[in-house]
Amino acid sequence: MEEYQEPLNLLMARVSGMVSPDHGECRVLKTIHFARECGFKKIGLAFCITLKDAARALDRLLEAEGFEVESIICKVGHMDRAQIGAPPSCKAMCNPIAQAEMLNEAKTDFNIVLGLCVGHDTLFIRHSNAPVTVLIAKDHVFGNAPEEYLKRLSGYET
C-alpha cells in the first residue's frame, strides 16, 4: 500500500479503477479515456513496422482527441543482429531501446506499445521513463490476439 501513496501511482490506480469496469468500451477507447483522465498530454507510440497502418490510424485518432503524439518505428537506429551475438539475418534488427530513448527525449507522458516483438516490448518497457501500456500484442499466428491460442489450447470461451 505504501507504493500507492506515490502521486502518479495513486492517480493511475484511481483512474484505472474508473476506466476498467466499463465493459462497453474497447481497449483503444479505454486507453484514450485513461490517458485523458490521468492528464497525460503527450503520447508516445512505439510500434512495429508490420503495424505501421494501425500506428498511423492511432496517431490520427489521438491527435483528433487533442493529444500531442510522438511515433517511433521499431527499425529506428537499427543494427546488424550480429553486433549483439544473434545469428546473422538479411533483416536489420529492431531497436526498442532507441525507441524508448527517443520517446524519453521527447518527454512523453505516456507510451503505447503497438505490436513490438516479445522481448523487444520488454526492453522498451524497461527503458521507458513514462508509464507504458500495450495496446496490441504481436502474434503472427493468431492475428495479434494471443488469447486465441489459450482458447484453443484449453477449450475455454469468454
Contacts (Cβ under 8 Å, ≥6 apart) of 110: 35, 38, 40, 42, 43, 44, 130, 131, 132, 133
CATH 3.40.50 location in the chain: 40-154
pLDDT of residue 20: 80
Q: How confident is the model at residue 25 (pLDDT cuts 50, 70, 90)?
A: confident
Of 73, 74, 97, the closest CA to residue 84 belongs to 97
Going 70 to 12 to 138 to 122, the CA torsion angle's sign is positive
**% of the chain beyond a pLDDT of 70:** 98
Q: Which CATH number fits domain 40-154: 3.40.50, 3.30.450, 3.30.479, 1.10.10?
A: 3.40.50
What 3-state class would DSSP assign to 111?
Answer: strand
State if pTM tops 0.75.
yes
Q: How confident is the model at residue 158 (pLDDT cuts 50, 70, 90)?
A: low
Mean predicted confidence (pLDDT) in 70-85: 85
Q: Identify the residue with better confidence: 152 or 98.
A: 98
Q: CA separation (Å) from 32 to 52, 69, 111, 154? A: 19, 12, 12, 33
